[in-house]
Amino acid sequence: MDEADTAVIWDSDMQDSKDSEYCPEERDMHDSDEEIPASSESEQPDPNRVHEAKFLVFESNLRELLDRCLVCGSPHCKVELSFVGTMVRAQLTCPESHVRVWRSQPVLCRKPMGNISVCSAILFTGSSPTKVLRLFSLMGIQCVQKSQYFKFQRCYLLPAVTEVWLFEQAALLDRLRGTKLCLAGDGRADTPGHCADFGTYTLLETTTGQVIHTELVKSTEVSSSNRMETEGMERCLDYLRAQDMSVDSLVTDRHSEGKASMRRNHPEIKHQFDVWHVAKGIKKKIVAVARTKQHSVLLKWMKTIVRHLHWCARTSNGDGKLVMAKWTSLIRHIIDVHQHLDPLHPRCEHGDVPDRLWLEEGKFHLVSTETFKKLEAILMGPHLLRDIPLLSPKQQTFSLESFHAVLIHFAPKSSKFQYDGMLARTYIAALHFNHNADRAILLDEDGMPKFFQQCSKAEKRWTLVPAKEKVTFDYVQKLTDALLECVIRWPTYAIASEAAYRVSHDTLSSKCGVKPPMEDAVAMHRSRFST
């Protein structure tokens, strides 16, 4: 079985991938050099030609087109084809010995523009190089080899993406400079589980809904994969401090190391917690208790508890004591007691409540009492109560969840990437997200907002979702322009390789010691007493 068919696709940005290239008809259609020799035909470096329309042409039709000599009109020209990636070069010799050379593409700095277009489209769309090149191979379409793609990516694509992101980020920070920033932050691991190679931490400015900074942390830089989120958060805040940005508040999840780091290193920043993340943790614990039949009634209370948590945060205007008073009143509400001891919230604010499955307190022979004790241990847990006053009343991290969905498109968790490739794909995801952050809601003929219905898997019901303007990709033009400028600035791969800055990190294999000889490894694998 091909490695690309396994659970993790070791292909997308790993130059040393052992994923094979399958071609239904192997022919000598690849030139070893991805650049046209300097002594070749004259070239016209017009970057705008990269935007021309392209077409698929079958070889037989191409030979039919080139069959007749343009000088004397003689048919049956001898056509010799050679290839440089996607470009075909034809040398035509007619029976009268007239020789002509024809190329299928314009050339920019000795690089066929078709090669530039294919390589840039793969990265800018978040596609997998191996899958795209295999697609061309299965269709019998001449294309660049995988090694050629990665060489072009390293020398030109990655610098261009970094250049555009830094320019756009600087413009965004300039617009926000002088204001108190209200940020939302969250981390994302590149693979499920606790053995991630990379951790991406992102800060989003909540008033604009745009990503203002993102940091990529490799697991070899920290003591463990779990440490990557805190390290990423620290780097993000240090970067904003270096840029003379003023941060008023930061909303995150309840990551314990993150809380300690904020108290220790950033006491001037108001650290608040995202309500959705807190509710998610409470729901998880309730579901675990409600698995037993005698406590299954808690499932009927779960929505009420989650709604109450959101209500506490939303209606308290950031007053932590009031949030706590409202939250602790819930434990009396579920036993049908609606007068409370805390003067900040002396009674429930709801009206008449229909009869429901109230729990019991203090009657130890009843099952409902045991259920109440289980729920009380969850809702009144000391770690939770310590964080309840810090619930964010307005700013939340839900927009970062949307960004992570975009990031999964550009950098899927099922694929492996090198550091610079992962960083570039993260930058492209941020550019895409920011470019489409302020899409307007569509209106009907009467000026009313449009909606469409969507089935909620969690709620098991249909919900209304606002219909927004279509996603646009205008930022790709900036990436393409920057890429062409890099190609012109560094006309050869040798120059580009020296000019392009590349970050190097310790690899995972470097921490495993010296690689043993294969014979010793096999013997140890087979031994019952291997250590």
Give the domain CATH number at 267. 3.30.420.10
Predicted pLDDT at 504: 65
Predicted pLDDT at 402: 92
Residue 417, helix vs strand vs coil: strand
165 within domain boundaries = no
Q: From the CA atom positions of the chain, what is the Rg in Å? A: 30
Tell me how far apart the alpha carbons of residues 270 and 183 are, in angstroms, rounded to a whole number. Answer: 10
Predicted pLDDT at 36: 72
Sign of the four-CA dihedral 430, 435, 440, 445: negative
507 within domain boundaries = no
Co-location of 319 and 459 in the same domain: no
Closest CA to 85 of 109, 117, 44: 117
Contact between 266 and 259 under an 8 Å Cβ cutoff? The reply is no
Contact between 114 and 108 under an 8 Å Cβ cutoff? The reply is no
Domain count of the chain? 4
Co-location of 215 and 111 in the same domain: no
Co-location of 385 and 426 in the same domain: no
Co-location of 11 and 139 in the same domain: yes
Tell me how far apart the alpha carbons of residues 168 and 208 are, in angstroms, rounded to a whole number. Answer: 14
Closest CA to 232 of 194, 198, 266: 198
524 within domain boundaries = no
Predicted pLDDT at 506: 65
| Other C-beta atoms lying within 10 Å of the C-beta of residue 203 | 24
Predicted pLDDT at 394: 86
Which residue shows structure tokens 């969507």? 454
Positions in the chain whose pLDDT score sits under 70: 1-34, 37-45, 193-194, 362-368, 503-512, 528-531
173 alpha-carbon distance from chain centroid: 21
Co-location of 192 and 270 in the same domain: yes
Domain containing 363 equals 279-390
Tell me how far apart the alpha carbons of residues 279 and 118 are, in angstroms, rounded to a whole number. Answer: 45
Co-location of 249 and 328 in the same domain: no
Q: Is 244 left (phi over 0), alpha (psi -120 to 50) or beta?
A: left
- What lies within 8 Å, CB to CB, of 381 at 6+ separation is none
Q: At what angle do helices 275-289 and 298-314 cross, to 10 degrees?
A: 160
Co-location of 266 and 409 in the same domain: yes
Which residue shows structure tokens 């240090």? 238
36 within domain boundaries = yes
Predicted pLDDT at 194: 67
Co-location of 209 and 340 in the same domain: no
Tell me how far apart the alpha carbons of residues 483 and 489 are, in angstroms, rounded to a whole number. Answer: 10
- Angle (CA) 222-226-231 rounded to 5° is 50
